[in-house]
Structure 1
Amino acid sequence: MIKIEKYSVPTLYYEFAPAGESKIAPDPRKTALLIVDMQNQFVNKDYGDADDARSKGMWDKWAYFYNRLEEIVIPNNKKLLEYFRSKKMEVTFGRIACFHKDGRDRSPVQRRPGWNNILLPIGTYGAEIIDELKPLSDEIVVEKTTDSVLMGTNYERILRNMGIEWVVVTGVVTDQCVASTVRNLADAGFDVILVEDCCCAATKALHEAEIMIMNQIYCRVMCTDEVIDLFDNLSEASK
Structure 2
Amino acid sequence: MGLQIQQIDPKKTALLVVDMQNDFVAPGAPLETAMGQEMLPRLKKVLEFSRNKGISVIYTAHVHREDGSDMGLYGEIYPPVADRACLIDGTPGTEIYPEVAPLENEIVIKKHRYSAFFGTDLDIILRNQRIENVAIVGLTTEDCCFAAARDAMYRGYRVAFLSDVTGTYDYGDIGFGKVPAEEVHRVCLTILGGSTAHVMTADEFMQKVEDSVGVEQV
State the TM-score, normalizing by the size of structure 1: 0.79
Q: CA deviation at 1:25?
A: 2.2
**Which secondary structure state, in structure 2, belongs to the residue aligned with residue 121 of structure 1?**
coil
Does residue 86 (structure 1) correspond to residue 52 (structure 2)? The answer is yes
3-state SS of paired residue (1:117):
helix
The partner residue of 1:235 within 210, 213, 218 is 213
What is the SS of the residue equivalent to 2:195? coil
The residue identity in structure 1 corresponding to 2:70 is D
Instruction: Write the letter of the residue equivalent to 1:89.
Output: I
5 Å-filtered alignment, 1:44-63, equals: 44-50=26-32
> 5 Å matches for 1:49-128?
49-50=31-32, 65-66=33-34, 68-71=35-38, 73-98=39-64, 100-108=65-73, 110-114=74-78, 117=81, 119=84, 120-128=87-95
> What is the letter of the counterpart of residue 113 of structure 1?
I
Contact residue 63 and residue 94 of structure 2 kept, 8 A: yes
Take 1:150 and 1:227, find their aligned partners in 2: how far apart are those partners? 23
1:172, 1:39 → 2: CA distance? 9
Report the alpha carbon displacement of residue 190 of structure 1 after superposing the two structures with TM: 0.6
Is the contact between residue 135 and residue 160 of structure 2 (CA under 8 Å) also seen in structure 1? Answer: yes
Per the alignment, residue 158 of structure 2 pairs with 191
CA-based RMSD of the aligned residues comes to: 1.8
Distance in 2 (alpha carbons) for counterparts of 1:23 and 1:164: 15
Matched, 1:141 2:108: yes
State the shift of 1:40 in Å.
0.3
Same amino acid, percent of matched pairs: 31
Q: Tell me the TM-score normalised to structure 2 length.
A: 0.87
Classify 1:22/1:182 alpha carbon distance in 2 versus 1 (closer, same or farther; 3 Å).
closer
Aligned length in residues: 203
Deviation at 1:116, TM superposition (A): 7.5
- Asked if 2 retains the 8 angstrom alpha-carbon contact of 1:103 and 1:121, the reply is no
**How far apart are 1:104 and its partner, in Å?**
1.7
- What's the CA shift string for 1:192-218, capped at 9, x where partnerless? 000000011211111111110011421
Deviations 1:96-127 (A, max 9, x none): 012x322221232x222336836422221110
Query: Is the aligned partner of 1:225 residue 2:189?
Result: no
Residue type of the alignment partner of 1:213: I
**Alignment check: 8 A CA contact 1:48 1:126 kept:** no
Matches of 2:66 and 2:5 in 1, distance apart? 47
Residues 40, 48 of structure 1: 8 Å contact kept? no
Give the aligned residue type for 2:24.
Answer: F
Structure 1 gap segments, 5+ residues each: 1-9, 15-20, 51-64
1:33 aligned partner: 15
Question: Amino acid of the residue matched to residue 198 of structure 2?
Answer: R
